[in-house]
Every structure is written in C-alpha cells, then in structure tokens.
C-alpha cells in the first residue's frame, strides 16, 4: 500500500515503494529512448547503455514484486529471486561493456577487468552472492563512476577555454554520480546480506542514494531547459563564451 492512513501525513507515504516506482519509471523511461535511437542508428554503445538501463528497470520491477507479492509461496519467491539476479547481472554486464568500449577500447587491462567481473558474476550463480556476483556488481558500477569523473575533469578544463559544451561536461559528472551512488548501494547490500530483513528493506541511506542516482540519470539524459540555461550561465561558461571570439581570430 502506498499510503498508510494510520500515520502522520509527513511519514504516511511508503518511501520504499515510492523509491521502487520512481526508479523503475526513470530507468525504463531513459533506457527505451536510448535503445530506440541505437536501433535506428545501429549504435552499439548506445544499445549497451540503453539495454543496461532498461534491463535494470525490469529487474527492479521484479524485485518490487518479490518484496510486495502477497503471501509466501516459496516457488514464486525463488523464481523472482533468480530472475532478479539474472536481470541485474545482465544490466551490469552491459554497463561494464559500455564503460570498457567507450572509455578504454584499446586497453588490455580494461578488457581483463571486464572479463574478470563477468567471471565473478558467473561464480556467484554457482556459489554465493557474497563470493561472486555482488563483487562484480560494485566493481562495474565503481569503474563506470571513476571513468566518468576522470573524463568530466578533462572536459571541465576544455569548458574553461571554450572548447567544450558545459552541458556535455555536466552529463559525465551526473553519470558518475549515478553509477557512484549505485556502487555504494551495492556495498551496503553486501553488508546487509548477513541479515535477510536488512537485505530486503532499502532503509533511509539506500533510499537517499537511489533518489540521488536516479535524479542524476534523468538530468544527464533529459535535462530541462532551465537546467541547461543555468549550466551555460555559470561563471566559467560565461568566461569561455567571451574567449571564443578571441580564439576564432587567434592566428596561432
């Protein structure tokens, strides 16, 4: 139930359920347009990115069904749990492959890292989540975060000289925030594995991290006009715009 009428109005809403609904809606809502564009343009990287988000939204929906399914049918619960693990593994593998091919396609160490995380998740299905797939989850999210933050720093320097769009630079910062928040979530989930009750309930820290991540995802791919205007009106962006005519006439 979304609202609990026996509670005061300020905590009557089931924030855990709201978090699930918002996350599912935004993951699917962002992933589907990216996948549609990838289909039209035959863009492999966009397909990996959109696929990761869409599968994550579907997996999140299955997880919500698992938590809120009436009754306690062991067969149904087991099916949902297995489907969730398959879904999140597929989503994270798409994310890891996207990170590898986008940021370091020629790097052998990046390829080894990706396949190692793939192996960790495969081991997770044969053994325990603690030993296998959860390590792969947080490593791929952490990798995506670090690459995005590093590239954002590079673009910030270019923005200061009028050589990059501040909205594009901010997109990488937001992507790093999204993947970083989910990396921290995975770490918290691993810690909570020892307690079944703590594992299934999001809790306040996880709810906050989820909203930070999902809001960053929305702003990264569908920034409102007012937000884009604000980014381009920041002091460093205005200084870069003033430099552009000078750069255009610079004989060097």
Q: Is residue 18 part of a domain?
A: yes
Which pLDDT tens digit goes with each residue over 187-209?
777 676 656 555 555 567 888 88
Tell me what pLDDT residue 123 has: 76
Which pLDDT tens digit goes with each residue over 103-142?
999 999 999 999 988 887 777 766 554 444 455 567 889 9
pTM of the model: 0.80
Q: Is residue 181 part of a domain?
A: yes
Q: Is residue 1 part of a domain?
A: no
Per the prediction, the chain carries an average pLDDT of 79
Number of compact structural domains in the chain: 1
* Residue whose token pair is 């030993």: 131
Which domain range does residue 84 map to? 9-248
The answer for 164, left when phi > 0, alpha when psi is -120 to 50, beta otherwise, is beta
72-81, 125-134, 142-151, 219-228: the lowest-pLDDT one: 125-134
Higher local confidence (pLDDT), 168 or 194: 168
Q: Is residue 211 part of a domain?
A: yes
For position 26, which CATH number holds? 1.20.1070
Q: Is residue 4 part of a domain?
A: no
Q: Is residue 244 part of a domain?
A: yes
For the segment 61-76, the average pLDDT, to the nearest whole number, is 73
Q: Is residue 98 part of a domain?
A: yes
Tell me what pLDDT residue 178 has: 96
* CA pair distance 48, 28, nearest whole angstrom: 14
* CA pair distance 121, 140, nearest whole angstrom: 11
Q: Is residue 2 part of a domain?
A: no
Residues 104/144, Cβ–Cβ less than 8 Å: no
């Amino acid at each position: 139930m979304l609202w609990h009428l026996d509670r005061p109005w300020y905590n009557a809403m089931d924030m855990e359920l709201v978090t699930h609904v918002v996350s599912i809606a935004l993951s699917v809502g962002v992933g589907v347009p990216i996948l549609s564009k990838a289909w039209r343009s035959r863009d492999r990287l966009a397909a990996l990115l959109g696929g990761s988000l869409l599968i994550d939204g579907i997996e999140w929906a299955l997880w919500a069904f698992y938590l809120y399914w009436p009754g306690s049918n062991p067969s149904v619960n087991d099916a949902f749990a297995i489907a969730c693990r398959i879904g999140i593994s597929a989503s994270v593998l798409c994310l890891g492959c996207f990170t590898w091919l986008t940021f370091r396609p020629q790097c052998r160490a990046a390829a080894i890292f990706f396949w190692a995380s793939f192996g960790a998740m495969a081991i997770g299905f044969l053994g325990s989540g603690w030993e296998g797939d959860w390590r792969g989850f947080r490593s791929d999210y952490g990798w995506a975060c670090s690459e995005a933050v590093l590239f954002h720093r590079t673009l910030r320097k270019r923005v200061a000289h009028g050589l990059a769009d501040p909205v594009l630079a901010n997109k990488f910062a937001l992507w790093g925030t999204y993947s970083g928040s989910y990396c921290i979530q995975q770490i918290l989930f691993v810690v909570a594995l020892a307690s079944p009750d703590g594992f299934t309930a999001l809790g306040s820290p996880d709810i906050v991290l989820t909203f930070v991540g999902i809001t960053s995802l929305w702003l990264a791919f569908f920034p409102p006009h007012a937000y884009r205007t604000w980014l381009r009106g920041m002091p460093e962006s205005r200084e870069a715009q003033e430099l552009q005519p000078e750069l255009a006439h610079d004989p060097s």
